[in-house]
Amino acid sequence: MRFLLTNDDGIYAKGLSALYKELSKEADCLIVAPEIEQSAVGHAITISRPLMVRRATKNDVFLGYAVCGTPADCVKIGITELSGKPFDMVISGINRGGNAGINVLYSGTVSAATEGAILGVPSMAVSLDTHKEADFTYAAKFARKMSRLILRHPGQFKGSAINVNIPFIPREKIKGVVVVRQAQSNIVETFEKRIDPRENIYYWFAGESQAARKQKDTDVGALSSGYITVTPIQYDLTRYDLLDALKSVVKQNNF
Amino acid sequence: MRFLLTNDDGIYAKGLSALYKELSKEADCLIVAPEIEQSAVGHAITISRPLMVRRATKNDVFLGYAVCGTPADCVKIGITELSGKPFDMVISGINRGGNAGINVLYSGTVSAATEGAILGVPSMAVSLDTHKEADFTYAAKFARKMSRLILRHPGQFKGSAINVNIPFIPREKIKGVVVVRQAQSNIVETFEKRIDPRENIYYWFAGESQAARKQKDTDVGALSSGYITVTPIQYDLTRYDLLDALKSVVKQNNF
C-alpha cells in the first residue's frame, strides 16, 4: 500500500505529523505538502508561476516534499512527478478546523482530496473541529480505520473524495459515525472595518457558519451534535435539476 | 436594476470593461474586482490577512472598487459592505479563456458567480474561449441577453450560478446556444521540469484539457464544436449517489 499525504496547514503542521505517524503503520506514506499555510485557498492551482519543490527534513531525516503552492498543486505534482509509483489513496489533513457546510468550497484540505479523486485515486479529507492547539491522536486513528474501509471498496470510491469531520470533544463523548450530506447553510457574512496606522480603511472577513446547526442530516448539524461526519464529495458541479428549466428558457429565445 | 460586476483577470481587464459598457445599458452596475490577476484561484477566500479596498479610477472617473483579494472576496465584500443597496444579479467576467469541464473547479471567474449564488443573488459567469487578445463585444452582448432571461425567472435561478462559455470564432459561425452539463474529463496532467539560473529544479504546470471533446452534451464538447454553452452550477458538493453505499460500509463496522 502507498498513500500520498498532504494538508493545507503546511508541511510542519501537527495534524499532518499525527496522520503520518498513524498511517505509516498501514502503508508506505509520502508527504507532499505546502511549504506554508494555505487555509481557505479552495481549489486554487498555480499556473502563472513555477512550483519550487524542496526536500524537507525534520531532525535531519527526510520528511517529505515541501511545495510552494496549494494543496491541489501538491496532489497534482505528487501523483504526476514526485512519486514514481502509483498511490492507493490520497489523504489530506488532519486539518485544524472543521470543514463542513459551505466551508467545504473554501477548504484547501477538501480540495486536495477532490483533486486526488479527479486523478482517479480514492481520497479522503480529515478535519478536527477546533482552531485551538489540539491532540490529533484519535482523529488519526479514525482516519486509519476509514482508509481501510474505503480501500476495501476501491472501485466504488474511485472518483469520489470522502470528507471526514471529527468533533473536538473527549473520545468517550463522541456519539457515533454518521454519513450525511453537506449543509447548504449560509455563512453569516460580516466584515470588520478597521483603520490602519496610516488612516486607510481596511476590512477583515469575520464570517461564521451558524445556520443549519439543527439539521441533523447534514455535516454541520451532526458535527455540532457530537458525531463524526462522513460525506462523499463530487467534482461535477452541474446542477442537474435546473437543466430542463434552462433549456426551455433558452429555447424560447432567438439569439 | 443593480448589478455587481467582477472578474478574475483584474479590475483593468478588457473583458470586464466590455461587460460594463454593455450591461450599463441594462442596469446600474458596480464593479468590485481584484486589484491584480487571480486566475485559477478557485473558490479561495482571504481570511488570514485583511482586505485592502481602493477606489479605482480610469481617466479620472470612478471605475469601481479594487480589492486586494480573490474574486469570491470581491463578491462577499461587494454585497456585504461596499454597495449599500441590494443587487439583482452578480456577473463575473468576461474571462479571457474558457471555463469548462474540470477547469470550472479551478476558475476564479466561476467561483465569483457561485459565491453570488450562495449569497442568494442570481449569478452568471461569462468566459470567452481564447487566451489571445480578443474583442469581447459579442460576448458582452450575449451576457446582456442572458441576464435578461435569468432575471425574468429570479425565483427559479436563486441559489444557482449560470456558467456561460462563448467560442472564439466569428459571430456568424457560432452554431447556437446549448444547455449542457459540465464535462468530467480529466485534464491531461503534465509538469515541465526545468532548471533555474542557480541550478535548482523547478516545475511548471502544463496540464491541458483534452479528453471528452467529442461528448456533445457537455460544456467541453459543445464549446469546441462551436456552440455557446450554458451550464447551471451548484454549491452542494455532496455525491448523493454514494450516500447509501457509504452508510452500509460505516454500519458494518464498530468504531
Judge whether A10 is closer than 8 Å to chain B, CB to CB.
no
**pLDDT over threshold 80, residue B36:** yes
Per the CB < 8 Å rule, is B77 touching A234?
A: no
pLDDT at B215: 81
The whole-number pLDDT of residue B211 equals 57
Q: What is the ipTM of this complex?
A: 0.90
Secondary structure of B3-58 as H, E, C letters: EEEECCCCCCCHHHHHHHHHHCCCCEEEEEEECCCCCCCCCCCCCCCCEEEEEEEE
CA–CA dist B50, B68 (Å, integer): 9
Q: Determine the pLDDT at residue A186.
A: 64
Could you tell me whether strands B161-167 and B176-179 are parallel, antiparallel, or unpaired per DSSP bridges? unpaired
Question: Across the interface, which of B118, B149, B176 has its CB nearest the CB of A249?
Answer: B149
- The pLDDT, as a whole number, for residue B190 is 86
pLDDT for position A115: 95
CA A103 vs. chain centroid, Å, equals: 10
pLDDT (tens digit, 0 to 9) for every residue of chain A, 255 residues total?
A: 999 999 999 999 999 999 999 999 999 999 999 998 887 888 888 888 899 999 999 999 999 999 999 999 999 999 999 998 999 999 999 999 999 999 999 999 999 999 999 999 999 999 999 988 889 999 999 999 999 999 988 788 877 899 999 999 999 999 999 999 999 876 778 899 999 888 888 999 887 766 556 688 999 999 999 999 999 999 999 999 999 999 988 887 766
Q: CA A231 to CA A178: how far, in whole Å?
A: 9
Q: Residue B177's beta-bridge partner residues?
A: B228
SS3 string of A226-239?
Answer: CEEEEEEECCCCEC
Taking the CA atoms of B232, B235, B240 and B246 in sequence, report the sign of the dihedral they define: positive
Contact between chains at B153 and A179 (C-beta distance less than 8 A):
no
- The residues, ordered by sequence, that sit 6+ positions from A203 with a Cβ below 8 Å of its Cβ are A191, A192, A193, A194, B50, B51, B53, B77, B81
B174: preceding bond cis by omega (within 30 degrees): no
Is-contact B17 B5, C-beta < 8 A?
Answer: no
Q: Are B79 and B119 in contact (CB under 8 A)?
A: yes
Q: H or E stretch including A20? A: helix A14-23
Segment B41-66 shows an average pLDDT of: 91
Give residue B220's pLDDT band: very low, low, confident or very high (50, 70, 90): very high
Query: How many interchain CB pairs under 8 A, A with B?
Result: 234
In the block, cell 472598487 appears at B65
Kindly state the cell numbers that stand for A21.
505517524
Distance CA B238, CA B223 (A): 27
Chain A residues with CB inside 8 Å of B106's CB? 43-45, 72
Distance CA A232, CA A182 (A): 9
Nearest Cα to Cα of residue B225 among B161, B160, B167: B167
More confident residue, B64 or A187: B64
Residue B84: half-sphere exposure toward Cβ, Cα within 13 Å:
1
| Nearest in space to A164 (alpha carbons), one of A228, A90, A95 | A228
- Please name the member of B52, B102, B249 whose beta carbon is closest to the beta carbon of A202: B52
Q: pLDDT class for B164, splitting at 50, 70, 90? A: very high
CB contact under 8 A, B191 and A46: no
In terms of pTM, does the model score above 0.95? no
Q: Which three cell numbers stand for residue B13?
A: 481587464
pLDDT of residue B242: 93
Which residues numbered 100-139 in B keep a CB inside 8 Å of some CB on A? 102, 104-106, 111, 114, 118-120
pLDDT band at B43 (very low <50, low <70, confident <90, very high): confident
Q: Is the pLDDT of residue B52 over 70?
A: yes
Instruction: Report the residue of A239, A244, A255 to disrupt the B interface, i.e. the one with the largest count of B CBs within 10 Å.
Output: A239
Q: Which of A91-105, B4-18, B174-188 has the lowest mean pLDDT?
A: B174-188
CB contact under 8 A, A48 and B37: yes
In one-letter notation, the amino acid at residue A87 is F
Q: Which of B105, B232, B245 sits opposite A246 (nearest CB)?
A: B232
Closest CA to A49 of B37, B105, B55, B144: B37
Instruction: State residue B47's pLDDT score.
Output: 86
Sign of the C-alpha dihedral computed for residues B237, A121, B112 and A244 taken in this order: negative
Contacts of A191 (CB under 8 A, 6+ apart): A203, A204, A205, A206, B51, B76, B77, B80, B81
pLDDT of residue B213: 63
Contacts of B60 (CB under 8 A, 6+ apart): none
- Give CA–CA dist A79/A97, Å, rounded: 26
Nearest to A177 among B186, B190, B255 (CB): B255
Of B53, B120, B245, the CB nearest to A203: B53
CA–CA gap between residue A9 and residue A15 (Å, rounded) = 8
Instruction: Check pLDDT > 90 for residue B49.
Output: no
Residue spans of alpha helices (H) in A95-160: 103-106, 108-118, 137-151, 154-157
Q: Which long-range contacts (CB under 8 A, 24 or more apart) does B196-202 make?
A: B200/A52, B201/A53, B202/A50, B202/A51, B202/A52, B202/A53
What angle is formed at CA A13 by the lines to CA A187 and CA A146, rounded to 5 degrees? 75
Tell me the pLDDT of chain B averaged across its residues.
Answer: 92
Better pLDDT: A233 or B216: A233
User: Which residues does residue B159 pair with via DSSP β-bridges, in sequence order?
Assistant: none
Superfamily in which the B2-183+213-247 domain is placed by CATH: Survival protein SurE-like phosphatase/nucleotidase (3.40.1210.10)
* Alpha-carbon distances of B74 from A38, A161, B159, rounded to whole Å: 19, 29, 18
Mutation target among B43, B103, B149, B199 for the A interface, most CBs of A within 10 A: B43
CATH 3.20.20.70 fits A2-183+213-251, yes or no: no
